[in-house]
């Protein structure tokens, strides 16, 4: 127990407001352990965000957000409530190009050498069925990972995860008829220069599969996607290689880490392949 | 393999459009197994929905949706694409009072005896810190479960899950100082007459805890919530009983099923209590 | 704060042991709210269990366990630590036929009218590849749900979830070549008389699919499963109907609730069908 | 479609066995895209493993396993079934010191430059209640990450995640009574020389918290852990710093990456801190 006693005036909700200056600031105490901390902050903050879309519109979605700063060895604790305050200040329209500003704002408000901002959320893109043109909505998982450093270094990684269809070339080749196929999840994380929309990266990723998936398929569409997947068999290795080729050729992309996880219809485990390349090394 | 050959005209995307009538409708074939199906449809459709809020505004969020119909024994299959078509038709502003309409629309479009609509999503409510009044946003998990039957029977269950604080009365009583406390998750599902906003049910649920949680707490707020929780110890049993008392007294509520799961800070397992009551039985 | 003071002798770990009788038993206090509780207890207890297998052996696995009792309106709280004590007492070899004993032991130790025991765990079955006979291991998810009541009523539901392959009859019929197929997860919960091994129920469930899945498939096996699935197309409706037919015909089974969820390779959502039947009603 | 026809003799299950040599080996074809793959293999293989324990016994648990190899640019595909064959060969008693052997075996069987083996599983440790000595079982999450390279380089990272209690120093200091506390999850990954048991690392991690958690606590135990946590308040920063100090001082440990995630009882989000240090750099 301790010696704190409430003292002050009535605040909102009719409670006694204590003068904040009279309350000890434990976090600001000096720490003597000589251990700096790489990242400290808040994790799994669920928050609504509004994003600009490629077609000039806007989209509101639900993000799970982590915000961290580095902490020098002599400081006992960070001020956790300030992270969410920065989020409140920037909530009106978070777009990929505003993430660096927000990450810088975290660094400044927390008076830190480095700040990290991470968000993951569902992003919807309208897509028409391939034959009938029926409209539908595909949900992609998107991630932002940003770093801002006091020395001016900034970093931003955009990630997407796109569902798609993979059809096994071996199964097709060795079987009299049919071929096992399955949903796969293609993930692409990129560093880039210039403008790269979420929509751009989703399209690039799903073009590497045997076939795209759709929200609505009428019978002529189902015939089309079935036949196209059969005509376009790909191992999990082929998917990541074809995606790597496209990203190698895209001048905006300076670094990429891509993978595909195929939920094999003939096994209870998954097939997986992964490639990471830093084009700046070349 | 089979005898299908493509025939038709060029459609969107430059592919050959097959006359849908020339494609067999396998789902409409007659089934002879004499086994009716309780529920058949689509599960885990991720879809943006827009909801009216209690304060007269609107909120866009991301829902995970299941839609099912019953299938009579003589019909081989349902038409899965129609479920998402109904969703597209009603996407503009789904509010709790429009769920019955949408469920009825599913039943009619699928020509079924019963239709089921289920949605779960994050719902945000603005909440001020208890002393400083700092604004923040709390995320609740919300569920809709609706049934529409050809005989006119309709059913709607609203569910919410609210994070809160529980503080153990036993730990407080037997210890010289301190008391173990933890985050808990209070779930309330209700059937009701008249108007019951999601916001109403969230407030009812979290008032049953030792203390509410907040997105931002400055030091005077943290002092307040710490002391209030200590002054208001509750077992998991107390939380569900106090919530049951409130719902028993609320004339809008005709049925409820409530539980609290407390993520005990002194164990690696959770404490749990559950009460289900049908007030119409009384 | 309160008046508790430590007093006693040194116990294990060198701490002062307080005479338990001198510590108030808050849970045993009288409650005046007139609200009985349906279920109260511990949730998500992770615990090793040992099971007898059909082939006469044993298998150790990791279970997630919930244990609850009913609480009469006049009792303030249950004694949470006793649940895990019962688990410790019965840990040596939990088999489906010993679950009723353990559930009864919970009811008696907690002095309750009703006790509930729920467990979910991974269960492995050895399975040879269909052509080469290569050995492998398939992991099934299994659930136990037991109730014991003071009036002598006892209940036990065994559930399994088996991964399998489904191949779409419509896609096969309308396409010149190929057919979309995917992993599905077939769940079967049953009440039964006599002996029904987990292995029995897993086999019954996966026989209802287009094809089983395997841990290892060499090329001759892959050819076999690809062709067999193509020869045996099934809608999600067909899977649950064929499974229902088998369970209708199995005299051990008195009640069943079954479903299949197909992770459609052409969509990002799933197809689902469900049937529940009480054969005792007939 | 293709020209494969079945030909051969009857195998197990009465199916025609095709001579494997007559079946094309698509994976071994030459690839011309000039894209090597970092990792390709199987993911989420659920498999029983047996581990030696520090007290000289054994423990069987359920692991989720990933196995990958690197693939040179000229090879079209890897041979997925061989990964699970290696697992079958080594299943009898996987211990941390045998992981390098198995990883090497994967590399050799797949004829690859690099092989990766990853496993995550639940591991149980018996622990007595602090006052009454009541026995219980705590479940830790454990990870193995191993790499074997053709150039002789080998790597092994052991990771554990331990549940524990954290109690907020700020909340204690500023409040008249009480202090918010909560379950936290402390994760420690280490590279090390010599012998470091899973049990060792779990003990090291949980000693950094305000208090350990237990499976069973009788009232004298609950009084003890409540008071000890109150006497030992720690920010999330303190937990990782104290854990870092211990690992800095442990000569077996050459590298560590540690974090704590605290499920704050006063918020719906978590507090998090992370430190990574390579002692070989110093």
Measured CA to CA, the distance from residue C211 to residue C232 in angstroms comes to 8
Q: Which helix (H) or strand (E) holds C10?
A: strand C8-10
Measured CA to CA, the distance from residue B66 to residue A1 in angstroms comes to 52
Of C251, C246, C273, nearest to C262 by C-alpha is: C273
Measured CA to CA, the distance from residue C36 to residue C34 in angstroms comes to 7
Provide the pLDDT confidence category of residue B11 given band limits of 50, 70 and 90: very low
Tell me, what's the pLDDT at C25? 85
* Side-chain-facing half-sphere of B83: CA atoms under 13 Å: 28
Q: Specify the pairing of strand C270-278 against strand C211-212.
A: unpaired
Check pLDDT > 90 for residue A13: no
- Span A240-270, pLDDT tens digits: 999 999 999 999 999 999 999 999 999 999 9
Tell me, what's the pLDDT at B98? 82
Check pLDDT > 80 for residue D210: yes
* Side-chain-facing half-sphere of B45: CA atoms under 13 Å: 30
Tell me, what's the pLDDT at C5? 39
Alpha helices, DSSP H, located in C163-267: 169-174, 198-206, 219-231, 236-249
CB B155 within 8 A of CB B280: no
Provide the pLDDT confidence category of residue A11 given band limits of 50, 70 and 90: very low
Distance of CA B120 to CAs A25, B194, B244, C260, Å? 41, 22, 23, 21
Q: Does the beta-carbon distance from C122 to D46 stay under 8 Å? A: yes
Of D281, D264, D265, nearest to D273 by C-alpha is: D264
Check pLDDT > 90 for residue A156: yes
Q: Does B113 touch chain C (CB under 8 A)?
A: no
Of D215, D43, D246, D15, nearest to D135 by C-alpha is: D215
- Span B168-184, pLDDT tens digits: 999 999 999 999 999 99
Q: What mean pLDDT is predicted for residues B212-241?
A: 97
Measured CA to CA, the distance from residue C40 to residue C178 in angstroms comes to 53
Residues 6+ apart with CB under 8 A from A189: A143, A145, A157, A158, A159, A256, A257, A258
Phi and psi at D189, nearest 5°, equal: -115, 135
Distance of CA A41 to CAs B105, B140, C51, Å? 47, 22, 44
Q: Which residues of C touch B44 (CB under 8 A)?
A: 269-270
Residue whose token pair is 């251990």: A35
Q: Could you tell me which residues are beta bridge partners of residue D119?
A: D65, D144
Residue of chain C whose Cα is closest to the Cα of B29: C170
Distance of CA B224 to CAs A11, B209, C205, Å? 12, 15, 56
Residue of chain B whose Cα is closest to the Cα of D161: B268
- Span A39-56, pLDDT tens digits: 999 999 999 999 989 999
Alpha helices, DSSP H, located in D175-276: 198-206, 219-231, 236-249
Percent of chain B topping pLDDT 70? 91
3-state secondary structure D158-201: EEEEEEEEEECHHHHHHCCCCCCEEEEEEEEEEEECCCCCHHHH
Q: Specify the pairing of strand B37-52 against strand D135-149.
A: unpaired
Q: Which residues of A touch D273 (CB under 8 A)?
A: 37, 39-41, 71
User: Please, what's the b/e burial string for C68-78 (b: 16 or more CB within 10 A of its CB; e: otherwise)?
Assistant: bbbbeeebbbb
3-class DSSP state of C251: coil
Greatest alpha-carbon pair distance for chain D in Å reads 84
CB A266 within 8 A of CB C129: no
Q: Does A163 touch chain C (CB under 8 A)?
A: yes
Query: How far does C14 lie from chain D, in Å, by closest CA?
Result: 8
Q: Measured between CB atoms, which of B227, B265, B267 is closest to D175?
A: B227
State both tokens at D233.
């308040």
CB A191 within 8 A of CB A279: no
Q: Which residues of C touch D212 (CB under 8 A)?
A: none
CB B166 within 8 A of CB B264: no
CB B258 within 8 A of CB B279: no
Measured CA to CA, the distance from residue C80 to residue B168 in angstroms comes to 12
Q: Does the beta-carbon distance from D6 to C223 stay under 8 Å? A: yes
Provide the pLDDT confidence category of residue D23 given band limits of 50, 70 and 90: confident
Q: Which residues of B touch C275 (CB under 8 A)?
A: 35-38
Measured CA to CA, the distance from residue D193 to residue D11 in angstroms comes to 49
Classify residue D190 as exposed, middle or buried by CB count within 10 Å of its CB (0-12, 13-18, 19+): buried
CB A137 within 8 A of CB B16: no
Distance of CA B240 to CAs B246, B247, C78, Å? 10, 10, 13
Provide the pLDDT confidence category of residue D5 given band limits of 50, 70 and 90: very low
Q: What mean pLDDT is predicted for residues A19-33?
A: 81
Return the minimum-mean-pLDDT range out of B61-75, B83-97, D257-271: B83-97
Q: Does the beta-carbon distance from B78 to C2 stay under 8 Å? A: no
Measured CA to CA, the distance from residue C274 to residue C237 in angstroms comes to 8
CB A159 within 8 A of CB A196: no
Provide the pLDDT confidence category of residue B282 given band limits of 50, 70 and 90: low
Torsional sign, CA B209, B215, B221, B226: positive
Distance of CA C217 to the CA centre of its chain: 28
Tell me, what's the pLDDT at A18? 54
Tell me, what's the pLDDT at C20? 59
Provide the pLDDT confidence category of residue B21 given band limits of 50, 70 and 90: low
State both tokens at D168.
């907020």
Length of chain B: 282
* Side-chain-facing half-sphere of A153: CA atoms under 13 Å: 7
Neighbouring subunits of C (3+ Cβ pairs under 8 A): A, B, D
Measured CA to CA, the distance from residue D180 to residue B166 in angstroms comes to 10
Return the minimum-mean-pLDDT range out of A4-13, A115-124, D183-192: A4-13
Q: Could you tell me which residues are beta bridge partners of residue A253?
A: A192
Query: How far does C61 lie from chain B, in Å, by closest CA?
Result: 18
Distance of CA C84 to CAs B168, C25, C67, C97, D146, Å? 19, 19, 9, 20, 36
Measured CA to CA, the distance from residue D211 to residue D224 in angstroms comes to 10
Q: Which residues of B touch A62 (CB under 8 A)?
A: 61-62, 121-122, 139
Q: Which residues of D touch B211 (CB under 8 A)?
A: 266
Q: Could you tell me which residues are beta bridge partners of residue D50?
A: D60
CB C159 within 8 A of CB C189: yes
- Span D69-105, pLDDT tens digits: 999 999 999 999 999 999 988 876 677 778 899 999 9
Measured CA to CA, the distance from residue D136 to residue D215 in angstroms comes to 5
Q: Specify the pairing of strand C253-262 against strand C211-212.
A: unpaired
Measured CA to CA, the distance from residue B155 to residue B145 in angstroms comes to 8
Q: Does A170 touch chain D (CB under 8 A)?
A: yes
Quick one: fold of C31-281?
Answer: Urate Oxidase (3.10.270)
Q: Does the beta-carbon distance from D265 to B213 stay under 8 Å? A: yes
Mean pLDDT in order along chain C per 10 residues (282 residues): 42 53 82 96 95 92 97 95 92 75 95 97 96 96 97 95 98 97 98 95 98 96 98 98 98 98 97 97 70
pTM for this structure? Answer: 0.93
Distance of CA D173 to CAs B176, D177, D183, D223, Å? 17, 9, 20, 21
Check pLDDT > 60 for residue A6: no
DSSP structural state of residue B97: G
Tell me, what's the pLDDT at D29? 87
Q: What mean pLDDT is predicted for residues A94-123?
A: 92
Tell me, what's the pLDDT at D26? 84
- Helix and strand numbers (H, E) in chain D are 6, 11
CB D266 within 8 A of CB D282: no
Tell me, what's the pLDDT at A27? 84
Measured CA to CA, the distance from residue B136 to residue A187 in angstroms comes to 33
Q: In this prediction, does ipTM exceed 0.85?
A: yes
Residues 6+ apart with CB under 8 A from B121: A62, B49, B61, B62, B63, B64, B141, B142
Residue whose token pair is 């062709």: C227
Tell me, what's the pLDDT at B4? 40
Q: Which helix (H) or strand (E) holds B170?
A: helix B169-174
Tell me, what's the pLDDT at A95? 72
CB D4 within 8 A of CB A176: yes
Q: Does D139 touch chain B (CB under 8 A)?
A: yes
Q: Could you tell me which residues are beta bridge partners of residue A142?
A: A121, A160
Q: Which residues of B touch C166 (CB under 8 A)?
A: none
Tell me, what's the pLDDT at D108? 96
Q: How many CB pairs under 8 A join B and D?
A: 137
Tell me, what's the pLDDT at C8? 44
Q: Does the beta-carbon distance from A163 to C268 stay under 8 Å? A: yes
Phi and psi at D95, nearest 5°, equal: -125, 160
End-to-end CA distance of chain A: 62
Query: How far does C202 lie from chain A, in Å, by closest CA?
Result: 14
Phi-psi domain of B176 (left: phi exceeds 0; alpha: psi -120 through 50; beta: other): alpha
For chain A, domain boundaries:
31-281
Provide the pLDDT confidence category of residue B13 given band limits of 50, 70 and 90: low
State both tokens at C29.
């206090």
Length of chain C: 282
């Amino acid at each position: 127990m301790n010696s704190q006693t409430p003292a002050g005036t009535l605040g909102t909700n009719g409670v006694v407001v204590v003068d904040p200056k009279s309350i000890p600031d434990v976090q600001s105490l000096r720490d003597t352990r000589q251990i700096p901390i790489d990242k400290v902050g808040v994790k799994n903050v669920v928050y609504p965000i509004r994003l600009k879309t490629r077609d000039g519109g806007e989209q509101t979605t639900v993000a799970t957000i982590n915000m961290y700063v580095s902490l020098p060895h002599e400081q006992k604790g960070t001020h956790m409530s300030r992270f969410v305050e920065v989020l409140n200040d920037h909530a009106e329209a978070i777009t990929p190009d505003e993430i660096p500003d927000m990450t810088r704002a975290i660094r400044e408000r927390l008076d830190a050498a480095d700040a990290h901002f991470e968000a993951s959320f569902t992003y919807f893109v309208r897509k028409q069925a391939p034959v009938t043109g029926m409209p539908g909505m595909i949900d992609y998982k998107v991630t932002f990972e940003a770093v801002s450093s006091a020395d001016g270094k900034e970093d931003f990684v955009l990630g997407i995860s796109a569902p798609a269809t993979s059809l096994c070339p071996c199964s097709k080749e060795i079987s009299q008829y049919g071929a096992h196929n399955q949903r796969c999840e293609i993930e692409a994380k990129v560093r880039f220069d210039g403008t790269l929309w979420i929509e751009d990266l989703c399209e690039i990723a799903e073009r590497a599969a045997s076939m795209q998936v759709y929200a609505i398929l009428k019978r002529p569409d189902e015939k089309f996607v079935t036949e196209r997947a059969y005509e376009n068999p790909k191992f999990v290795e082929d998917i990541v290689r074809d995606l790597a080729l496209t990203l190698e050729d895209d001048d905006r992309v300076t670094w990429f880490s891509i993978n595909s996880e195929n939920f094999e219809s003939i096994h209870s485990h998954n097939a997986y392949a992964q490639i990471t390349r830093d084009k700046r090394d070349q």
